[in-house]
Amino acid sequence: MRYLSLILFSGFLVFSVDFATQNTEIVALHYSLDWLNFSYQSERPVFVPVFFSFAFGIIFSVIYFFIYHAFLLKNLRQQKKEIKRLKNLEESGRVKQGSMEERNSELQQIVQRVQNRVDGQSDLEPQTLLDDKAVKTSP
């Protein structure tokens, strides 16, 4: 594939030289723009306008390619920025999720300790409550 472009270019070069040597007749070029008062007249061999036409076509294609490539690079840059922003957002969400999980585990441990204390005091507590109520109602 790499050598194909070199082969095509060398073929085009050989064709160009052959075309230029076989078409040496002189042609008259006339161009005028009345609204600008511009007029151009020249006599050149046939191959000159043909090659200038090819050259302008190639130059136009190269300019178009660079403009299109610049737009593609701009879009790629914007997408990379968006991906980076979303990754940062995802990372902050993971950090929040991790801190929430840690907080939940701490709360679960606290609840477990309180339940263990309540279970350990559950037999004694009703008796103390009844004794406190009896003392308050006696006087």
1-51 residue pLDDT tens: 678 888 988 998 888 888 888 878 898 888 888 888 889 898 988 888 888
Q: Is the pLDDT of residue 69 over 90?
A: yes
Amino acid symbol at 132: D
Tokens of 42: 């020249």
Q: Is the pLDDT of residue 137 over 60?
A: no
Q: Which of 63-67, 87-91, 93-97 has the lowest mean pLDDT?
A: 93-97
pTM for the structure as a whole:
0.48
How would you classify residue 79: left for phi > 0, otherwise alpha for psi between -120 and 50, otherwise beta? alpha
